[in-house]
Amino acid sequence: MSRNAQDLIRFVLRRLIQSLPILLGIATINFLFVNLAPGDAADVLAGEAGAASPEFMAALRERYGLDQPFYVQFLVYMGKLLTFDLGYSFRFSRPVTELLLGTLGPTLLLMSTAILFACSMGVFLGVLAARCVNRWPDYLISVGALIAYATPVFWLGLMMIVLFSVKLGWLPSSGMQTIGAGYTGWRKIGDVALHLIMPATVLGMYLTAFQVRLIRASMLEIGEQDFVTTARSKGLSEQTIAYRHVLRNAILPMVTMVGLQVGAILGGSVLIETVFAWPGLGRLAYNAVFQRDLNLLLGLLFLCSIMVVVTNILTEVAYRLIDPRIPLK
Amino acid sequence: MISRNSLLGRFGRHYPAVAGITLLAAVTAMALLAPVLFPQGPWRMVGRPQLWPGADPRFPLGTDILGRDLLACLFYGARVSLLIGLSATLAATLVGTMIGAAAGFFGGKVDRWLMGFTEIFQTTPPFVLAVVVVAAFTPSLTSIIIAISLVSWPPLARLVRAQFLQLMPREFVLAGIVMGMSNTRLIVTQLLPNAITPIIVSSSLMIASAILLEAGLAFLGLGDPNAMSWGYMIGVGREVLRTDWYITTIPGLAVLLAVLAINLVGEGLNDALNPRSRNR
């Protein structure tokens, strides 16, 4: 194994260990929520069973350790978290971890497509705006970004359904694949891709707006540096200069932006998956809200936080891969 | 006369900001006039359900699936959006400023602990945390305001801390320390006034994101059941999206315009208060 790769692995491990206190903090807050919220799991179960005698409630509390002192419950909770046991969803009658892992895949697919879309769209529009600075394409793009910041994503999703599914009939309005079609192989991939277009575009909208502004600004800033003048004097076309010389130097802030926005994208996916009936974590969250399933919601919050931590570590690794001069902190 | 370089003059030459403040004034007027123009409240069934805009002159924007006047709903929705946006921002600004100020002023251990605490809240995705908080404590105006401010303060705390770290070694602060000013007095009379500009700007932008958060929560069914809000209206309209999409479109446009207005005003404030970005 090369030295570089070893460094990278050591760095990732160190960062993972450094994030443990944060995850511990989040777990503590989770625990406080469970205990601050009115009613406990025994109330929920008793409500499910209809009327319950005080003896039955006491037995339930004993069985789930709810009669133990506060700190004992806290330690038990933490011990369970270490083995990634996030408790039991009484509404779905399945362990929370199992439910979460079952829906993680579609969400990751949706999020990565949205991020990919936002970055490529951001580069394209940002470069365009910078090359037409203070002319109408630039103004149009700036106004578009301003409106994108102000648009509620879930509403935009609904409006796109009206236009592209109801009126034009081009795109499917819900789900991840055509139910009952039984496609396999490439047909199946194409089918999923078709279902992915609208939710991924809408979910990536904020990030696209951020990236456009960022790329435009860094293109303008870097475009004045000496090496660009050199490239221009060599007779390279503006297209080549923009994409081969300037853009390379604007990639790092782009990666940073993805890291900063990943939490917002996760939050957005709760709304977007609800709108498009995408079978992922977000829709699970909506069902959990609908059924007041607190255990499941807290598990979700914890998993989402882990995803943010992992993404932040990945962005730092990406820095290193993009620019080997950057030291791993 | 307003001089060209005065604060108002600079703000006034910023046309988008003027457009923003006009829009914002309209939304505020809607919020204030709602009980005057629609004394019967937004919930009453007043006409035939699903009347399209313009179909009946009594209801210029039409009626929703329960025959409620969409215009009245829109006016009352402005109240809820502004109320939640302003109160949540106020609470988040207070908390963020206090935590950031303490971290920047005391430094050392206090700083490390407070920033660690802040990082916990920055790691949890804001909207998901807000959903959990409101769901855990049953939806009401209070729980929604608490949830939104709980997820909004961390960036502000970081900002205030950064400002304080910059100001701490300055001479006027050192002079204050030598004069024997108490910590509270130093913070309140010397440091905060010099850090107030970025606080005002980011708080004004925070109102916009608070309104978006509230709309999202209400859309998921986590709104106050007694308060008519734009997000709730979008959620109701969704049920008949395929045929009567206007019920969804109208409140969504209201959110868009209100948020856009606040963003424009915020940017205008930034340009007016921030001398370095003047004459860009």
Do residues A286 and A302 make contact, with C-beta atoms less than 8 angstroms apart?
no
Cβ distance of A25 and B116 shorter than 8 Å:
yes
CATH of residue A119's domain is 1.10.3720.10
- DSSP letters along B214-237, please? HHHHHHTT-S-TTS--HHHHHHHH
Q: Give this complex's ipTM.
A: 0.86
Residues of B in contact with A143 (CB under 8 A): none
CATH number for domain B8-279, candidates 2.30.30.30, 3.40.640.10, 3.50.50.60, 1.10.3720.10: 1.10.3720.10
Pick the residue from chain B with its C-alpha nearest to A166: B242
* CA pair distance A316, A252, nearest whole angstrom: 10
pLDDT tier at A47, thresholds 50, 70, 90:
low
CA angle in degrees (0–180, nearest 5) for B126-B132-B133: 90
Query: How crowded is the C-beta side of B173, counted as CA atoms within 13 Å?
Result: 19
Sequence ranges of the domains in chain B: 8-279
* Per-residue model confidence (pLDDT) at position A320: 79
The answer to whether residue A114 is domain-embedded is yes
Contacts of A304 in chain B (CB under 8 A): 124-125, 128
What pLDDT, on the 0 to 100 scale, is given for residue B9? 67
Residues belonging to chain A: 329
Q: What are phi and psi of A288, to 5 degrees?
A: -65, -40
Residue A289 lies in a domain: yes
Which stretch, A71-75, B69-73, B216-220, has highest mean pLDDT? B216-220
Instruction: Tell me if A279 is assigned to some domain.
Output: yes
- Is A96 part of any domain? no
Structural domain contains residue A68: no
Residue B241 and residue A162: Cβ atoms within 8 Å?
yes
Q: Which tens digits make up the pLDDT trace of B68-122?
A: 878 888 889 999 999 999 999 999 999 999 999 999 999 889 999 999 899 889 8
Q: How far is CA A170 from the centre of its chain?
A: 27
Task: Determine the residue among B118, B121, B131 to mutate to test chain A binding: the one whose Cβ has the most chain A Cβ atoms within 10 Å.
Answer: B131
Give the residue with greater pLDDT, A82 vs B141.
B141
Whether A37 is in a domain gets the answer: no
Spatial separation of the C-alpha atoms in residues A45 and A67, rounded to whole Å: 15
Q: How far is CA A87 from the centre of its chain?
A: 23
CA distance A244 to chain B (A): 29
Closest residue of chain B to A154, computed from CA coordinates: B216
Residue type, B36: V
Per-residue pLDDT tens digits for B112-138: 999 989 988 988 899 999 998 898 888
A35, A158, A165, A276: best to mutate for the B interface, most B CBs within 10 A: A158
Strand boundaries in chain A, DSSP class E? 88-89, 94-95
Does the residue A172 lie in any domain?
yes
Count of CB atoms situated within 10 Å of the CB of A10: 11
Containing domain of residue A267, as a range?
103-322
Classify residue A244: in a domain, yes or no.
Answer: yes
pLDDT band at B1 (very low <50, low <70, confident <90, very high): very low
For residue B10, what pLDDT is reported?
A: 67
- In Å, what is the CA distance from B87 to each residue of A150, A229, B20, B136, B258? 20, 52, 21, 21, 16
- Cβ-defined contact of A263 to B263 (cutoff 8 Å): no
Give the distance, in angstroms, between the CA of residue B46 and the centroid of all CA atoms in the same chain: 32
The structural domain count of chain A equals 1
- Whose tokens are 């090359």? That residue is A131
Using a CB-CB distance cutoff of 8 angstroms, which residues of chain A are in contact with residue B241?
Answer: 158, 161-162, 166
- By three-state DSSP, how is residue A94 classified? strand
**CA nearest to B83, candidates B32, B43, B126:** B32
In a 10 Å sphere around its CB, with 0-12 CB exposed, 13-18 middle and 19+ buried, how is residue B279 labelled?
Answer: exposed
User: Number of CB pairs < 8 Å for A and B?
Assistant: 144
